A and B are shown apart, each in its own frame.
Chain A
């Protein structure tokens, strides 16, 4: 594969004009291209599993094997795909509503069990496609505290936990790449504004503080500070679910 266009379908993009999801799509395509070109993964082995809603639309834009799932269920579908054929490179893309609300149970469980899948969460604080209802990561509903998935994933023993924003292209790119290449469950929480319903990008930029490179093992305090901490909070190696169950690659 030589052109990024090989990873694109002909489907028109229906996100709002200027939506930062375009950045995430761009990053995903360029990381996948890089990994395929470097022969780290094969294009034919990539499977992208999506939730529904705005995050789910990415299903139609990527010319790779893909599964358009249900709200909150991208993680178990991705886990099943990996168990059915451990030779595949499985990437789930979902929103905060699905991952931290409707299907939160799956995040805890998969963090513990460590299937080798990558979970990219487009975290914009709203259920945008239903016209902007707040999620658990929305900053301003009656002053309730915001849910922070990072300490939860750390406490659930996820082997790769990270957060980036859609503003810092280079950091996002390197973290997404590291997450895909990580052998085990990896979470990439991506903070972004929703231009239509939670357009607070300036505050996000102001409040973001990068802690990457510290390789925090399980320091909850680091991720709980008032600022939005970004970076890779944990990267550790332990046996994957497929290895423990001795599941083998399907021949192709």
Chain B
């Protein structure tokens, strides 16, 4: 059982909120949901839409065709009616009777006016109508979301759900509530939850789509102090300062903000200050299309910062991985004293997924030691990791952008330069061994034809595999350090390999070639800001290899 709902209307009209509430209700009733959010750069006006996919089976992407369209205005109907399935219905925000048989009027604006509440409150009538259409009692819907509203508002919502439910008179889709309950989360929210559990004290961030939702979630947790400085350069340097003085801190941005942080990324590496950068990409180059998605920053994330140094770049593929990989990011940054990028994108950061915080195998922490006489900030050790001490406890603690000796004092002699560089790289060998245990890449399915990808495309590919017998999917999550041997082994066993990425040149393919020598010639690329859908992947592959 799988149904798809599109909700469309002007910005500021509650499209996103309505979609999230619907997904929350159905998840609470045990159904799997995915919500794709499509919006432009405006606060009011324009046209936004969200697509909610509801299924009795796990679902990780949205559909191209809809069983229901919720049109908050006429323009939403005009824009999307062509994607309505033949049996599909439309709920239109109107108090007039409709001539078309499959268009049902829902007097949402009238309700809001009657109750003297904001227009977006009327959207709850649509939610009631959806419940009717799917065959769920409106009271069950209210039970799932009532707690989100104040007592006064809840009474209005309750009435709206009841009234909306009455609008539906046809046969229902038959979605009975199940005993299991599921939760939803965006990639941003899931990563923020991991930060809170890792023990994050401070987040310094300058607002930028699509990373802002992550920072908002940290702020809403009430457990992390969020500070908005004057720019990204201040954000990253304040982060490094705070970590140096003993706090757990992080920053978040998108590609443009990362560009401004590049110099300090290299500082984190040289000074060996644990640094976690949550990097949510949007479509570039430059301002590009700021509210749409792309995977064009992969090579930039791998190369950001001047000079040579070990780093970690990890790319989660869904909300559960946003959580678990963020936990790992804090663990590696603090244990190994190096910069770690969590590379995500708008599709993953802002879409709603079913979410479960799976227990992490690793325990993130600050990895600080107790003060001891003779402490040296950059002591040579067997694994290259110098014990980290916070200042204020007696021993002198130093951090420096300059090449330095064990105490952190400036050097320019060739022997120490070489020894220190070697010390930093020594950490990488131990790091790689630990990462190898965490499925740095993962194979899904058994087909001989292999799709290779990373990041947010995972959802659509996993959903597409159901329609593609004979195909399997290799997801690469750790891009640095790169799991070269495993990737090589899997690709060399495949009959045919297809590279799938949301960018225009196949950046992962170039990295695979660099790391393994294997060139993947067949590519399925998309770079128009929109994510792949499962159907699109299946069709494009079937057409190509029919």
Contacts and interface: CB of A to CB of B under 8 A. Distances in A.
Interface of A: 9, 11, 44-45, 47, 49, 52, 59-60, 63-70, 73, 76-85, 87-88, 103, 105-106, 108-109, 245-247, 250, 252
B400 A59 contact: yes
Given A78-B241, A79-B241, A82-B245, 7 more contacts: A65-B397, A67-B241, A67-B244, A80-B237, A80-B244, A80-B245, A84-B243
B238 A77 contact: yes
Given A44-B392, A70-B237, A109 B229 contact: yes
Nearest to A69: B401
B401 A70 contact: yes
B409 A9 contact: yes
B204 interface: yes
Nearest to A14: B410
Contact of A49 (B225, B231, B241, B410): B241
B469 interface: no
Contacts of A44: 391-394
B418 interface: no
B245 A88 contact: yes
A80 B239 CA distance: 6
B410 A80 contact: no
A85 B245 contact: yes
A68 B401 contact: yes
Contacts of B271: 67-68
A83 B227 contact: yes
B389 to A, nearest CB: 10
A68 B241 CA distance: 11
B240 A77 contact: yes
B234 A70 contact: no
B201 interface: yes
Tell me the interface secondary structure of chain B in the complex: mixed
Given A11-B409, A59-B410, A67-B399, A76 B392 contact: no
A106 B234 contact: yes
B396 A76 contact: no
A69 B402 CA distance: 9
Contacts of A252: 390, 392-393
A50 B376 CA distance: 20
Given A9-B409, A69-B401, A83-B238, A245 B233 contact: no
Contacts of A67: 241, 244, 271, 398-400
A147 B397 CA distance: 36
B249 interface: yes
**Which among A68, A82, A247 has the greatest number of chain B C-beta atoms within 10 A?**
A68
A87 B245 CA distance: 10
Interface in B133-176: none
A44 to B, nearest CB: 5
Contacts of B536: none
B538 interface: no
Interface string B379-406: 0000000000011111011111110000
A89 B246 CA distance: 14
A245 B240 contact: no
